[in-house]
Amino acid sequence: MNSTPEADWLNLLIGLLQGAQLLLLRVLDAVGLAAHVHGQPAWPWTHRLSGENLLIDLGQARSLAWTLVFVAVAVFALLLALFWRRPRFYFLALVPMLLIAAPWPEARVVLVPATPTSFQLSPTGFTAASIARGRVLYEQNCVACHGADGKGEGPLAASLTVWPPNLTGPLLWRRVDGDLLWRILHGTRDAQHGKSTMPGFGAKLDEADAWALIDYMKAQGAGQSLRALGSWPQPIGLPDMAVRCGSQPPRLLASWRGQRVRIVAGNATPAEDPRLVTVLLVAPSSTTAPVTADCVADSAAAWEALALIAGTDRLAGTQLIADRDGWLRARGEPGKAGWSDDDLLCRSERLPAPTKGAAPPADGLGALIARMDAEPVRFVKGGFIH
């Protein structure tokens, strides 16, 4: 989830690759050289630079980093040759020497196949409503092969030429969202033989439907991982939803981005804490006395989305904490008094876990918040930093 201290430079390198390609696509779109596919500018080439493989092969990542340094020096030497006439020959001679001496990485590592939608971003914003919509579409179009739990063991899976992938495993998180969109709408083919391994659903679904499916699969994968592993090994965002605070007009949960947010599911009035924005999530079928909490979310879609992410059918009494960037980080189980380091379900291994048998801190929530703040999420999905 997070970078290690010695690999912080790798995040910088991946961010540079990502930013440069996005800038190039925007320039092409601005001058009218980029076509539009599914409502957004399309990547015009069959390959793209990706940090996905660089995370695995640090040797190639170092080669690429040094190559960029050599190229930068070569460009600087070329500029000096243009403006400094007397030693021009020496600067010009230095350029090919630098390019030859550069430790160029292997193309197969740096370049990965791309789709026209590789750089497209979801317009849904990962909302509870989109997840709920995606659930309906998934049940209509995907359950037969991928299974109700997304593990690829649906009733038709055994009859297929290629077994469906496990959507709850790391595969979903290695794919960039734009590539997932393309595969849903246009299908997939075997890389070696070119045979169709999944049909495209572009005739039945539009891009808004496909983005909703992606949101649902992310939430489903997070919940299944939590059930199996007891943690969120891949970061999952807090779904956006409408919140009512007192007599004020409803506002979106995302409007508190930059502050920590705590969701309390159930009908009990939560205690306010100045370190957190507390939102009470009310069950859609609740018939108890009127809620007196300051801020309330009461949509059925919000309850459904968070129950899916929390991997439970009994969400009442659960507390969820999101960090300042909107990533869900901690869960307090129903009936549990206080907070501990065990409740931090999206964590880094950079900080050592508390010693077993040691006395818990007097302020468990404060210790948990301190660790969250010390270890912000540095999430790389499909070679893109989020």
Residue 259 φ/ψ region, left for φ over 0, alpha for ψ in the -120 to 50 degree band, beta for the rest:
beta
Q: At what angle do helices 128-141 and 207-229 cross, to 10 degrees?
A: 90
pLDDT of residue 158: 87
* Residue extent(s) of CATH 3.40.30 domains in the chain: 242-350+364-385
What are the residues whose beta carbons fall under 8 Å from the beta carbon of 37, sequence distance 6 or more? Answer: 116, 117, 120
CA-nearest of 256, 273, 253, 255 to 332 is: 273
pLDDT of residue 288: 55
CA-nearest of 216, 29, 222, 52 to 141 is: 216
Q: pLDDT tens track of the chain, all 386 residues?
A: 544 445 678 888 998 999 999 999 999 999 999 999 999 999 999 999 988 888 888 899 999 999 999 999 999 999 998 888 778 888 999 999 999 999 999 999 999 999 999 999 998 889 999 999 999 999 999 999 999 999 999 999 888 888 888 888 887 888 899 999 999 999 988 777 767 888 999 999 999 999 999 999 999 999 999 999 999 999 999 999 999 998 899 999 999 999 999 999 987 777 788 999 999 999 877 655 456 678 999 999 999 999 999 999 999 999 999 999 999 999 999 888 889 989 999 987 654 555 555 555 567 899 999 999 998 888 777 767 76
What are the residues whose beta carbons fall under 8 Å from the beta carbon of 252, sequence distance 6 or more? Answer: 240, 241, 242, 243
Looking at CATH, the fold of the domain delimited by 128-229 is given as: Cytochrome Bc1 Complex; Chain D, domain 2 (1.10.760)
Distance CA 129, CA 127 (A): 5
H or E element in which residue 10 lies: helix 8-30
Distance CA 266, CA 288 (A): 10
CATH of 242-350+364-385, one of 2.60.40, 1.20.1070, 3.40.30, 1.10.3720: 3.40.30
pLDDT of residue 83: 86
In Å, how far are 90, 94, 216, 232, 237 from 298, measured between CA atoms?
71, 67, 20, 25, 19
Q: What is the CA radius of gyration of the chain?
A: 24
Residue 384 pairs with which residues in a beta bridge? 381
pLDDT of residue 347: 83
What are the residues whose beta carbons fall under 8 Å from the beta carbon of 75, sequence distance 6 or more? Answer: none
Distance CA 272, CA 150 (A): 37
Six token digits for residue 162: 């290629």
Three-state DSSP at 340 gives coil
* Residue extent(s) of CATH 1.10.760.10 domains in the chain: 128-229
- Using an 8 Å Cβ cutoff, are 242 and 250 in contact? yes
pLDDT of residue 276: 94
H or E element in which residue 385 lies: strand 384-385
In Å, how far are 256, 354, 361 from 358, measured between CA atoms?
35, 7, 9
Distance CA 40, CA 121 (A): 8
